[in-house]
Structure 1
Amino acid sequence: MLRWYRMKLVARPMLTQSVTTAILFATGDIIAQQAVEHRGIEKHEFIRTARMALYGGAIFGPAATKWFKFLQTKVVLPNKKLEICARVGVDQLLFAPTNLLAGWSGPLYRS
């Protein structure tokens, strides 16, 4: 299964990352509604889960795929530990706030 997934990542990285992200966002919302909010299946907001999957697959997945590729090619340092710290720093200063603003203020999040 892991080999199949890695082959898909090489063959169709954007599609594979987007589908993976959609599944993870939907799973996260299901866990939030069932394990944290204790809604039960009868009160589960399936539209909310679908919106989260749509946001993850159509917006966050492609954006994150492009962003991390950008970081890999543009933030390159001779010291690998420093390189990792620099990538995390740039990510947290630029991508994280932008994504939070887009995700939490967008129409997909609203009930």
Structure 2
Amino acid sequence: MGLGDVISQQLVERRGLKEHQIGRTLTMASLGCGFVGPVVGGWYRVLDRLIPGTTKVDALKKMMLDQGAFAPCFLGCFLPLVGTLNGLSARDNWAKLQQLWPAVQLANFYLVPLHYRLAIVQCVAVIWNSYLSWKAHRL
């Protein structure tokens, strides 16, 4: 999430190093390390115990459980937290997540071994977090 904010500030907003808001980057990084990483990583371990295996059917079951059960609960906590910290619209975030994450998770559960899933999702999340940071901090 910190990297996403740096990308947002430097590549999207083109602030330059002198105008970079370090506090904003630290807030986003803290949110990623203190909330997103532990919660999502723990969920992947639980999900793999609930549905062991990596077949197409297993991946589809995991994606459905992830999107049907975990995502609404996670977003119900995450979006208000981000909104509180950055003034983001929960409606905007929800619409974007609905478009992106089901496809990412289906591929993730089908193609990626458990010990790499969090890393893969976080790579995709860099793009999402860049958007979130830009959306949260545009003037």
Same fold (TM over 0.5): yes
Deviation at 1:90, TM superposition (A): 1.5
- The match for 2:105 is none
Tell me whether 1:69 sits opposite 2:45 in the alignment.
yes
Counterparts in 2 of 1:71 and 1:49: CA distance versus 1, 3 Å: same
2:77 aligned to which of 88, 98, 102: 102
- The match for 1:17 is none
Report % sequence identity. Answer: 31
Structure 2 segments unaligned to the other structure (5+ residues) = 88-136
Query: 2:56 is matched by which residue type in structure 1?
Result: K
- The match for 1:54 is 30
Rg comparison, structure with higher value:
1
Structure 1 segments unaligned to the other structure (5+ residues) = 1-24
Relative contact order, CA 8 A, sep 6+: which one is greater? Answer: 2
- The match for 2:7 is 31
- What is the total number of aligned residue pairs between the two structures? 86
Pairwise CA RMSD: 2.1
- The match for 1:83 is 58
* Whole-Å separation in 2 of the counterparts to 1:33 and 1:27: 10
* Whole-Å separation in 2 of the counterparts to 1:44 and 1:100: 28
TM-score by length of 2: 0.53
Query: 2:7 is matched by which residue type in structure 1?
Result: I
TM-score by length of 1: 0.65
Query: 2:68 is matched by which residue type in structure 1?
Result: L
